[in-house]
């Protein structure tokens, strides 16, 4: 199974609602498992200063993660596939049903094995890296929106300049036509004057 991080906005979510959402997601995973789909809700991390949560899932595809949240009726911002960098020499933390129910606080003791402490440190670095990447993605997305807005402004300015150029071209054509008409009229007047002058001289 691939690993996925689901980013959720907790700005308007109370602690009680957060716990209810977690239970709803876990129940949705069990429902999909019963239907033969491979999905696992691994754990969650909350960033209080940013008001968001990062949930770690294992699943066959991102579509299954979307289905889980649709069944649980829990909203999310995005789904990001990640890589598992856990060292291969570390044994799983949960080898029995009882161990699976232990709280993380129980493992953070002075008597914890060095391998377990190293695994927890690697996990913290892993989530820090994920947060950093998500922050960069937010920055790039905001920059892309800014560039798109600037491009739209440039397109509108180009359209205005093109329209103005068309108007100037039309004015130029009209001025050239008027000048040609005036030159033709002046030529006719001059020819008429010269003709009258020649007729007067001939009559003498």
Q: Is 91 helix (H, G, I), strand (E, B) or coil?
A: coil
pLDDT score recorded for residue 140: 75
pLDDT score recorded for residue 94: 44
CATH tag, 1-84: 3.30.70.3090
Which residues are CB-contacts of 4 (< 8 A; sequence separation ≥ 6)?
56, 57, 58, 59, 62, 65, 79, 80, 81, 82
pLDDT score recorded for residue 102: 43
180 alpha-carbon distance from chain centroid:
59
**Domain regions of the chain by residue span:** 1-84, 86-204
Q: Is the dihedral of CA 32, 33, 39, 42 positive or negative?
A: positive
pLDDT score recorded for residue 189: 76
pLDDT score recorded for residue 122: 61
pLDDT score recorded for residue 46: 87
Quick check: pTM over 0.85? no
Mean pLDDT in consecutive groups of 10 residues from the start of the chain, 204 residues:
89 87 93 91 86 89 93 92 69 43 38 51 64 69 83 87 86 82 78 71 61
- The Cα–Cα gap between 121 and 115 comes to 10
């Amino acid at each position: 199974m691939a690993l996925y991080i689901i980013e959720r906005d907790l700005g308007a979510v109370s602690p009680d609602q957060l716990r209810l959402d977690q239970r709803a997601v876990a129940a949705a995973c069990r429902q999909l498992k019963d239907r033969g789909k491979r999905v696992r809700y691994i754990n969650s991390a909350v960033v209080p200063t940013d008001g968001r949560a990062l949930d770690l899932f294992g699943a066959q595809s991102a579509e299954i993660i979307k289905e889980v949240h649709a069944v649980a009726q829990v909203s999310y911002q995005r789904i990001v596939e990640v890589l598992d960098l856990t060292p291969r020499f570390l044994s799983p933390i949960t080898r029995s049903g009882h161990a699976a129910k232990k709280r993380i606080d129980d493992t953070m003791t002075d008597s914890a094995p060095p391998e377990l402490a190293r695994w927890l440190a690697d996990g913290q670095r892993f989530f820090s890296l994920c947060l950093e990447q998500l922050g960069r993605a937010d920055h790039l997305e905001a920059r892309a929106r800014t560039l798109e807005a600037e491009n739209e402004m440039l397109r509108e300015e180009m359209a205005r300049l093109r329209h103005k150029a068309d108007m100037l071209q039309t004015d130029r054509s009209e001025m050239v036509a008027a000048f040609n008409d005036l030159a033709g009229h002046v030529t006719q007047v001059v020819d008429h004057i010269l003709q009258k002058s020649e007729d007067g001289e001939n009559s003498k």
